[in-house]
Chains A and B, each alone.
Chain A
Amino acid sequence: MTEPLLKVEGLKKYFPIKGGFLGRVKGHVKAVDDVSFFVNEGETLGIVGESGCGKSTTGRMLMRLLDPTEGKVTFDGQELTSLAPAEMRKARRDIQMVFQDPYASLNPRHSIEKILMEPLNVHNIGDPKERKRKVHEFLEIVGLSSYHAKRYPHQFSGGQRQRIGIARALMTNPKLIIADEPVSALDVSIQAQVLNLMQDLQRDLKLTYIFIAHDLGVVRHISDRVGVMYLGQMAELADTESLYEKPLHPYTQALLSSVPVPDPGFVREEVVISGDVPSPANPPSGCRFHTRCPFKMDICSKEVPLFAEVEPSHSVACHLYEACRPQ
């Protein structure tokens, strides 16, 4: 087997909660707490989970836009977590990010040309003429036209702005794109355009994607494998097909059974969970899901379940499957 393009081991991010006398640290938000996974070259790994479960924090740490509290990220054989800032800047040429809000992520005072040129300037790629040619080339690739180069972000619709965001990410010919909710702000009909574009680009440019989203339909559509996060941890990770057809973790089951399906005749198997997600500053003991789990056993509040493979390419962190694990 070849080495995965990206390998993440024991990744953690604790944000200090300051307060009280002299702004002392009162505790920590355990935004990401011991997450491990890998991504193979050319595939799409989807990451889903409810608001606040740590998806964006994970994505940002992979690029070291945020420094991990603990853990190791290896990309293309290089350990990113130990790189000096200058080396990390160089490595970013190969990892780019696409954000949810195309409005906020484009500088309103810069023309599209300037916005797209910037990554080339930063990484010192090509001469001015080549850079310009590249801008026009990528505008066409994402379905816009070269005459758009002179325009400003406010002159575009939401879907077009997201195309610009994607073009910007592609300028440096990256290997990996981390897309954090790239279609969540878009209308359904525009969302389909952007998803199709991302799939075409992946095929043509051999890209690898990490696709973060909370829409389970979108994630199924685009991903080869999917990881489900809950309260800063990976609850389950599997091939898309087995995750959706045979979810093992009770949280995944509940999540899948909550998604409204555009078919009025559809009768679902329901796994009902009650209550809200607990605070990541004070996560429940043992399995973090035990406070809402319909299948909770005694051990669940006492011991942290291991995140491990129970079937080939299907890992889960749940005591129900303890016996299925290869010893």
Chain B
Amino acid sequence: MDERKTILDVKGLRTSFFTDDGEVPAVDNVDFHIRQGEVLGIVGESGCGKSVTSLSIMGLVPSPPGKIVGGEILFQDKDLTKLSDKQMRQIRGDDIAMIFQEPMTSLNPLFTIGDQLREALKIHKRDWSKKQIQARAVEMMKLVGLPRPEALLTEYPHQLSGGMRQRVMIAMALLCDPKVLIADEPTTALDVTIQSQILKLIKNLNERLDTAVLLITHDLGVVAETCERVVVMYAGKVVEEGPVHTIFKDPQHPYTRGLLASVPDMRFKKERLYSIPGNVPKPGSVKIGCKFAERCEFAFDRCRAENPELYQTADDHQTRCFLYDPKEAKSHDRTVIES
């Protein structure tokens, strides 16, 4: 078992949007935790609730229409869902930081990179001198591997390439040595050669600074290369959680298996791809039963009548599927899906 201390513990998190069509349960009873210095991945298809999960942790769910309607987010024994806006602001700068997919939306086009880095620092290091602040800004630019840091600090966001902007965002996020960095699709908008540079940077910083990283992505390759553990989400729920090595070698949940079998592999040619039939259900449309039942080739009566829980299948591996309910396991064939 991993000895490292749990630093962030999400328990039974439920976040909904209240729209004209009624309540949309975007995050539906989600549990996971991150240990100190660990890289945890959250993977899942569009709309499964990855971003809403991270916004919930950051206290940034747009409200209205969104609201955390249940659960706890424990960070250093504090429940973040109970904190005031002011307390959350403090946490966001000092303890938990976030980077987004499109850095341009989080950088102000009217101010230089330097202005923005210094401004962010001033809020949290009130007693620092101008000189200290400038030195720290330069140090951070170097840390994230940006060339000619002094000159870049005087430039505007549009003068930088996409990869450079994402490095600036990472520098900005790490200014105050946060304990947790949430990266929501940090490389999705970038080309592969740049993506590989940014992922290396995130991993390298995680190792050097011992910052825990929550990496959100829909790319299974990115998870395999960067994360230690992974949480697989489907339609607002965690369907499987475990160490990356186990999940990629021996996926359990039929959705995880199907997903892995659907990805074309750059290293060899599969004759035909496995494909999961059907589409992801609209959030809230499956009221009872496993949300994957409609697309699952193993589904049996119970799958449509009851909600499966997360069954512990090993010390550090959990699966939300009745096939892994100790009561069912013997009577069903879980033959691996051939790809």
Contact = CB atoms under 8 A, between A and B. Distances in A.
Interface of A: 50-51, 157, 159-160, 187-193, 195-196, 199, 214-218, 220-221, 240-241, 244, 254-266, 273-274, 276-277
Contacts of B277: 193
Given A189-B258, A258-B193, A263 B45 contact: no
A50 B192 CA distance: 8
A196 B275 contact: yes
Contact of B266 (A187, A199, A254, A261): A261
B4 to A, nearest CB: 19
Contacts of B225: 260-261, 264
Given A192-B275, A220-B264, A221-B270, 19 more contacts: A50-B193, A189-B45, A191-B262, A192-B263, A192-B273, A196-B273, A214-B191, A217-B264, A218-B264, A220-B265, A221-B273, A240-B269, A257-B196, A258-B196, A260-B192, A261-B266, A262-B223, A262-B224, A276-B161
Nearest to B197: A274
Contacts of B273: 192, 195-196, 221
28 contacts: A50-B192, A50-B193, A51-B191, A157-B279, A159-B279, A188-B220, A188-B259, A188-B262, A188-B263, A189-B259, A189-B276, A190-B279, A192-B262, A192-B274, A192-B275, A196-B273, A196-B275, A217-B266, A255-B192, A258-B193, A259-B221, A260-B222, A260-B225, A262-B223, A262-B260, A264-B244, A266-B224, A276-B164
B264 A189 contact: no
Contacts, number: 119
B46 interface: yes
Interface string B195-214: 11101000000000000000
A261 B267 CA distance: 8
Contact of A260 (B219, B248, B258): B219
B220 A192 contact: no
Given A217-B265, A262-B263, A192 B224 contact: no
Contacts of A220: 264-266, 269
B161 A187 contact: no
B163 interface: yes
B224 A260 contact: yes
B196 A260 contact: yes
Contacts of B259: 188-189
B269 A221 contact: yes
A261 B276 CA distance: 20
A187 B224 contact: no
A36 B219 CA distance: 33
Contacts of B120: none
The 9 A-B pairs at the shortest CB distance, nearest first, are namely A260-B221, A192-B275, A221-B264, A192-B262, A258-B196, A50-B191, A217-B264, A187-B45, A189-B276
Nearest to A50: B191
Most A CB contacts (10 A, CB to CB) among B46, B192, B220, B259 go to B192
A50 B189 CA distance: 11
Contacts of B82: none
A274 B194 CA distance: 8
A188 B45 contact: yes
Contact of A263 (B193, B196, B248, B270): B248
Interface in B272-305: 272-277, 279-280
A264 B164 contact: no
Contacts of B125: none
A218 to B, nearest CB: 5
Q: Is the interface of A mostly helix, strand, loop or mixed?
A: helix
B265 A262 contact: yes
B262 A216 contact: no
Nearest to B223: A262
A214 B248 contact: no
B86 to A, nearest CB: 39
B191 A195 contact: no
Nearest to B276: A189
A196 B273 CA distance: 7
A258 B275 contact: no
Nearest to A261: B221
A61 B259 CA distance: 36
B245 interface: yes
A157 B277 CA distance: 13
Nearest to A197: B275
Interface string B216-248: 001111111110000000000000000011001
Contacts of B191: 50-51, 214, 277
Nearest to B225: A260
Contacts of A264: 224-225, 244-245, 248
A230 to B, nearest CB: 11
A256 B192 CA distance: 9
A265 B193 CA distance: 21
Contacts of B263: 188, 192, 217, 262
A43 to B, nearest CB: 15
Interface in B164-204: 164, 191-197, 199
Contacts of A257: 196
Contacts of A273: 193
A254 B193 contact: yes
Nearest to A157: B279
A199 to B, nearest CB: 7
Contact of B275 (A193, A216, A256): A193
Nearest to B228: A264
A43 B258 CA distance: 28
A218 B263 CA distance: 8
Nearest to A292: B193
Nearest to A159: B279
Nearest to B44: A187
Contact of A256 (B223, B226, B266): B266
B276 A192 contact: yes
A28 B245 CA distance: 49
Contact of B224 (A159, A190, A261, A274): A261
Contacts of A160: 279
Contacts of A196: 272-273, 275
